[in-house]
Amino acid sequence: MGKSKLITHTQHTMKLKPFYILIKYVATHPHNKGKSNLYHIIKEYDDTYAYDSPIYDVLDYFDSLREARQHIKTLTN
């Protein structure tokens, strides 16, 4: 019983640093019909989750939201 309390306490006190995933929706996919903005940034903490879908492509990973937004500007200009 004491061990589970320690694990729970440790999980609540650990601070995870987020990272940001830049995706671009596939414009030709029916689900994305009518989307005006094809770029999207996802804030993520779990580096084991695999982002994979036929409706978007993962373009890159960033340490900050600012970097991800700047990259979108370079892609759209």
Give the range of the structural domain holding residue 35, as residue numbers without chain letter. 15-76
User: Residue 56: how many CB atoms within 10 A of its CB?
Assistant: 20
Please check whether residue 57 lies inside any domain of the structure. yes
**Tens-digit pLDDT profile for residues 12-42:** 567 889 999 999 999 999 999 988 899 999 9
Structural domain count, the chain: 1
Mean pLDDT of 39-59: 95
Buried b (16+ CB within 10 A) or exposed e, 25-35: bbeeeeeeeee
pLDDT of residue 15: 80
Please check whether residue 5 lies inside any domain of the structure. no
Q: What percent of the chain has pLDDT over 70?
A: 82
Please check whether residue 7 lies inside any domain of the structure. no
Please check whether residue 41 lies inside any domain of the structure. yes
Please check whether residue 71 lies inside any domain of the structure. yes
Whether residue 69 has pLDDT greater than 80? yes
Please check whether residue 8 lies inside any domain of the structure. no
